[in-house]
Amino acid sequence: MESSNTSAVPSNPTVGSSNNGVISFDGCDSSTHHLPKIVQGQCGFVLEDTYHNPLQDNPSYSVVKRHFVNEEDTVAQTIVVHEDSPRGIHFRRAGPQQRVYFEADEVQACIVTCGGLCPGLNTVVRELVCGLYHMYGITRVLGIEGGYRGFYARNTVSLTPKSVNDIHKRGGTVLGTSRGGHDTTKIVDSIEDRGINQVYIIGGDGTQRGASVIYEEVRRRGLKVSVIGIPKTIDNDIPVIDKSFGFDTAVEEAQRAIDAAHVEAMSAEHGVGVVKLMGRDCGFIALYATLASRDVDCCLIPESPFYLEGPGGLFEYMEKRLKENGHMVIVIAEGAGQNLLSECMPNTDARDASGNKLYQDVGLWISQKIKDHFKQIDWVINLKYIDPTYMIRAVPANASDNVYCTLLAHSAVHGAMAGFTGFTVGPVNSRHAYIPFQRITEKQNKVVITDRMWARLLSSTNQPSFLDPETIEGLKKEEHKQT
């Protein structure tokens, strides 16, 4: 790739723009691909890929059939399309690029972890350090401690392949994490003062919004710094990517709690097991853990409203189920039924340091409601409430998440080395891609209850949908409009 511009700065790799001269996005056609390859992103940034990629001389990679991804390869966001529909949004394919922007000895990288814990954080840190070192010979990597505020309020730690060797076996993050404390000016001052030119930011939706603001400030100051987001979300609320690391581990751990609830419920007369799982605004963990377990009789998630009393309500279903089976298990996501809770509890509008709304404990609330109801109708029930949420978050990643973390970290390193910036890396339809921040931050991923997956769940638990036909029609129309 050539550049006509000598004052090179990293480019945004994947923005939906017709002026990048290489690939088309957002349905633009690709008729300009034969133009001179001056890579001009939407933001007017120019990539100058100055050096040859050392990966081609790396003995470990000598067997690889194709050393580099084709610069014109894209990953489609929507893969099932009607023949007449537009081409849709495409992202730049992640992977090693033929030419790189940085030479090894000029790189000063840093890594920060922000937001809530998630299994796999340490693996991503490890693989970033080892990937930078082993693939590109980069030895200067700093760990920023304690989340975003660590950029200006804490000392840094030096990370080497040796120091991170075993960390993937531990839960949590060796760097520490925090909520709040995002002071953009101080963060970018710190990046500038320390001579950092690659910033790897691991975190959830809030973190990616923070990363996007840092990227804007870096651009405004004209710094030659790559800002890369690595998506972390235990509850899978980040859009576009297939799923986040840690999600599989969380589902696996959630099943252990469901197993315990099932054993308790089965062993008692009219035993009821209630398990609360994470999922502030989306119920993916609850959905997948329920589907995987098959011991769950009812799964309640934020996306699907429910009610307790009257025909078609939860209590009616519970009575029927307890009569039939003698026991039952209910899984509830933390954000489910918050409308019902706010009816009977004062709405405090409490928020955490990052501005996320703090919800009341729906597990405790629903357990009490169930007990009250059965007392009223003179049924003896034995209810056990299990809240495994922090236990699920604190475990190390399982095998498949560990491998996934490695791919994510390596894709991030390849993108940064190529001089790309302002993107989050992640799998889109099973292919790793570079996704501009704004695509990740513009909306939240939710369980679509008009999709077949939710129907599968309803059919496996046999629970009521709690929806009347009119609401279902309305939801379908809404969904149709959005696609």
Ligand X SMILES: Nc1ncnc2c1ncn2[C@@H]1O[C@H](COP(=O)(O)OP(=O)(O)O)[C@@H](O)[C@H]1O
Residues that bind ligand X (CB under 6 A): 114-116, 147-148, 179-182, 203-207, 209-210, 213, 354, 356
Q: Is 219 annotated as a binding residue?
A: no
Q: How far is CA 213 from CA 39, 41, 56, 417, 425, in A?
A: 23, 18, 35, 21, 17
Terminal CA-CA length for the chain:
36
Nearer to ligand X, 293 or 441 (CB): 441
Closest residue to ligand FBP, Cβ-based? 116
If you ran DSSP here, which 8-state letter would residue 232 be given?
B
Nearer to ligand X, 190 or 255 (CB): 190
- Which of left, alpha, beta for 337 (phi over 0: left; psi -120 to 50: alpha)? left
* Only segment of 7-15, 196-204, 357-365, 446-454 that touches Mg ion (CB under 5 A): 196-204
| 298 close to 314: Cβ distance less than 8 angstroms | yes
Q: Is 278 annotated as a binding residue?
A: yes
| Residue 235's binding partner out of ligand X, ligand FBP, Mg ion, none, with CB under 5 to 8 Å set by partner kind | ligand FBP
| Residue 148's binding partner out of ligand FBP, ligand X, Mg ion, none, with CB under 5 to 8 Å set by partner kind | ligand X
Separation of alpha carbons 217 and 231, rounded Å: 20
Nearer to ligand FBP, 126 or 393 (CB): 393
* Only segment of 121-129, 164-172, 203-211, 367-375 that touches Mg ion (CB under 5 A): 203-211
| Residue 147's binding partner out of ligand FBP, ligand X, Mg ion, none, with CB under 5 to 8 Å set by partner kind | ligand X
Q: Is 391 annotated as a binding residue?
A: yes
Q: Is 392 annotated as a binding residue?
A: yes
* Only segment of 86-94, 166-174, 202-210, 315-323 that touches Mg ion (CB under 5 A): 202-210
Q: How far is CA 472 from CA 333, 406, 449, 475, 477, in A?
A: 21, 41, 9, 5, 9
Token code pair at residue 176: 């520490």
CA-angle at 239, arms to 457 and 129, nearest 5° = 115
Cite the beta strand spans of 94-225 per DSSP E. Answer: 99-100, 109-113, 141-144, 156-158, 198-203
Place of tokens 């937001």: 115
Q: Nearest distance from residue 234's CB to Mg ion, in Å? A: 9
Q: What are phi and psi of 195, to 5 degrees?
A: 65, 30
Per CB under 5 A, the list member of 150, 204, 335, 426 interacting with Mg ion is 204
Q: What is the dihedral of CA 332, 368, 306, 253, to 10 degrees?
A: 0
Separation of alpha carbons 420 and 109, rounded Å: 14
**Segment holding 382, helix H or strand E:** strand 382-386
| Residue 2's binding partner out of ligand X, ligand FBP, Mg ion, none, with CB under 5 to 8 Å set by partner kind | none
Positions annotated as catalytic residues are: 235
Q: Nearest distance from residue 183's CB to ligand X, in Å? A: 9
Q: Is 204 annotated as a binding residue?
A: yes
If you ran DSSP here, which 8-state letter would residue 277 be given?
E
Nearer to ligand FBP, 108 or 290 (CB): 290
Separation of alpha carbons 399 and 118, rounded Å: 15
Which residues make Cβ contacts (< 8 Å) with residue 447, sequence separation at least 6? Answer: 282, 283, 284, 287, 301, 303, 304, 453, 454
| Residue 213's binding partner out of ligand FBP, ligand X, Mg ion, none, with CB under 5 to 8 Å set by partner kind | ligand X
| Residue 114's binding partner out of ligand FBP, ligand X, Mg ion, none, with CB under 5 to 8 Å set by partner kind | ligand X
Q: Nearest distance from residue 278's CB to ligand FBP, in Å? A: 4
Q: Nearest distance from residue 117's CB to ligand X, in Å? A: 9
| Residue 312's binding partner out of ligand X, Mg ion, ligand FBP, none, with CB under 5 to 8 Å set by partner kind | none
Q: Does 229 bind Mg ion (CB under 5 A)?
A: no
Q: What are phi and psi of 355, to 5 degrees?
A: 95, 5
Per CB under 5 A, the list member of 205, 253, 264, 295 interacting with Mg ion is 205
Which residues form the interface with ligand FBP (CB under 6 A)? 115-116, 204, 233-235, 278, 280, 334, 352, 393
Q: Nearest distance from residue 421's CB to ligand X, in Å? A: 17
What is the DSSP track for 21-39? SS---TT---TTTTS----
Q: Nearest distance from residue 332's CB to ligand FBP, in Å? A: 13
Nearer to ligand X, 14 or 207 (CB): 207
Q: How far is CA 421 from CA 110, 111, 262, 352, 450, in A?
A: 14, 15, 48, 29, 36
Residues 330-349, mask of contacts with Mg ion (x by CB under 5 A) = --------------------
Q: Nearest distance from residue 204's CB to ligand FBP, in Å? A: 4
Residues at the binding site for ATP are: 116, 179-180, 204-207
Residues in the site for Mg ion, rule: CB under 5 A?
204-206
Q: Point out the annotated binding site for Mg(2+).
A: 205
